[in-house]
């Protein structure tokens, strides 16, 4: 109950601050909680950008009355809703009237920063990863929702058939209890020599890790369209992902990535296939760089967003 009350208090504070600062335009993300303040402020124009946890049932978006009522109202009353995948756009359309404008705009990737060919020798040296070892990188948040334990379990078979492979696990926003369980699982499966827990990785360091890795692996229960995936593709890292409709929007099986079922045996099979097939990875790297340049260029996405801001302000004048 206190958590819900805290959300409402935060929303009220946001409403007060919006009125105090009187911005030209308000743009809200993470619509469950603080963003409800735009309703209290009665301020326009405003743009709403929902994340997966805001609108996807499988992520608990509407498990309480506030999510069902207030989040839907934020979307319904917005002057513009932006969605960064076809899947999210479809969910939003089921929640709002036909007159609510919806635009497909993503966060975009800094293509000058996330690019192939970066020198990763120092990273290999610092983490005791030799030049002949192939790296599988699990970059998502260290929380149960992202199911890193399935990847660790899959790595038993990977290690048996590709003994030089190394699994790198990040510690972004770690659930400490879950992190301890993952480390204990690695110990129990005798995988410590081939697993590196590298802790939180800064945004500036992420291009180096993506260049170091041959494969990026993601098997969450659900997803929106993670920018980490587009960043990996921009760097030439080969994606192995569980079968989600969001991923299928941009990944074509055995052409620019591999989609797998969400159990260790299937994951290990996909990882081994990707590790063994250099030609597949090389061709996918070229295709994925071209794809991100076409659909995920940060400069282009931000320009489109700015153009929408101008249109909304002109309409409100």
Whether residue 271 is found in the same domain as residue 305: no
- For residue range 125-166, list pLDDT tens digits in order: 999 999 999 999 999 999 999 999 999 999 999 999 999 999
**CA nearest to 137, candidates 211, 221, 205:** 211
Whether residue 28 is found in the same domain as residue 57: yes
* Mean pLDDT value of segment 98-119: 93
* Structure-model confidence comparison of residues 32 and 244, the more confident one: 244
Ramachandran region, residue 176 (left: φ > 0; alpha: ψ -120 to 50; beta: rest):
alpha
The radius of gyration of the chain from alpha carbons, rounded to an integer in Å, stands at 21
Three-class secondary structure of residue 267 per DSSP = helix
Mean confidence (pLDDT) of the chain: 93
Query: Does residue 135 fall inside a structural domain?
Result: yes
Contacts 24+ apart (CB under 8 A), 63-70: 64/4, 66/4, 66/7, 66/8, 66/32, 66/36, 67/32, 70/32, 70/36, 70/39
pLDDT at 70: 87
Whether residue 182 is found in the same domain as residue 217: yes
- pLDDT class for 3, splitting at 50, 70, 90? low
Q: What is the pTM of this model?
A: 0.91
Whether residue 135 is found in the same domain as residue 230: yes
Q: Is the peptide bond before 45 cis (omega within 30 degrees of 0)?
A: yes
Whether residue 69 is found in the same domain as residue 143: no
Q: Round to whole Å and give the CA distance between 23 and 25.
A: 5
* Residue 197 clears pLDDT 90, i.e. is over it: yes
Query: Does residue 116 fall inside a structural domain?
Result: no
Whether residue 210 is found in the same domain as residue 93: no
CATH number at residue 57: 3.40.50.2000
In order of 46, 103, 158, 283, 309, the CA distances from 80 in angstroms are 7, 7, 46, 38, 9
Query: Does residue 53 fall inside a structural domain?
Result: yes
Whether residue 67 is found in the same domain as residue 178: no
Structural domain of 202:
121-295
Whether residue 291 is found in the same domain as residue 310: no
Q: Round to whole Å and give the CA distance between 60 and 55.
A: 8
Query: Does residue 115 fall inside a structural domain?
Result: no
Whether residue 226 is found in the same domain as residue 88: no
- pLDDT class for 2, splitting at 50, 70, 90? low
Cβ-count burial of 5 within 10 angstroms (0-12 exposed, 13-18 middle, 19+ buried)? exposed
- For residue range 222-271, list pLDDT tens digits in order: 888 899 999 999 999 999 999 999 999 999 999 999 999 999 999 999 99
Query: Does residue 190 fall inside a structural domain?
Result: yes
Q: Round to whole Å and give the CA distance between 225 and 222.
A: 10
Whether residue 168 is found in the same domain as residue 251: yes
Whether residue 95 is found in the same domain as residue 139: no
Whether residue 142 is found in the same domain as residue 249: yes
Query: Does residue 113 fall inside a structural domain?
Result: no
* Residue 60 clears pLDDT 80, i.e. is over it: no
Q: Which of 3-12, 81-90, 112-121, 154-163 has the lowest mean pLDDT?
A: 3-12
How many distinct structural domains can be found in the chain? 2
Encoded tokens for 119: 């020198």
């Amino acid at each position: 109950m206190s958590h819900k009350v805290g959300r409402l208090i935060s929303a009220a504070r946001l409403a007060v601050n919006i009125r105090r600062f009187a911005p030209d335009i308000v743009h809200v993300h993470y619509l469950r909680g603080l963003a409800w303040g735009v309703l209290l402020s009665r301020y326009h124009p405003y743009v709403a950008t929902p994340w997966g946890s805001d609108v996807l049932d499988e992520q608990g978006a509407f498990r309480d009355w506030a999510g069902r009522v207030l989040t839907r109202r934020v979307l319904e009353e917005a002057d513009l809703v932006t969605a960064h995948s076809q899947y999210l756009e479809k969910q939003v359309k089921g929640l709002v009237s036909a007159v609510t404008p919806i635009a497909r705009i993503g966060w975009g990737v800094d293509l000058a920063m996330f690019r192939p060919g970066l020198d990763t020798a120092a990273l290999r040296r610092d983490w005791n990863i030799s030049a002949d070892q192939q790296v599988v990188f699990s970059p998502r948040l260290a929380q149960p929702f992202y199911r890193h334990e399935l990847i660790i379990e899959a790595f038993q078979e990977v290690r048996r058939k590709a003994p030089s492979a190394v699994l790198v696990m990040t510690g972004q926003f770690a659930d400490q209890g879950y992190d301890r369980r993952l480390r204990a699982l690695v110990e129990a499966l005798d995988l410590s020599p081939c697993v590196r827990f590298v802790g939180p990785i800064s945004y500036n360091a992420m291009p180096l890790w993506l260049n170091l890795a041959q494969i990026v692996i993601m098997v969450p229960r659900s997803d929106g369209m993670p920018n980490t995936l587009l960043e990996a593709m921009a760097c030439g890292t080969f994606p192995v992902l569980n079968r989600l409709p969001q991923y299928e929007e941009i990944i074509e099986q055995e052409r620019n990535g591999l989609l797998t079922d969400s159990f260790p045996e299937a994951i290990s099979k996909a990882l081994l296939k990707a590790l063994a097939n250099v030609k597949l990875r090389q061709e996918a790297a070229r295709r994925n760089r071209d794809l991100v340049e076409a659909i995920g260029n940060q400069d282009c996405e931000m320009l489109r967003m700015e153009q929408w801001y101008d249109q909304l302000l002109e309409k409100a004048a």
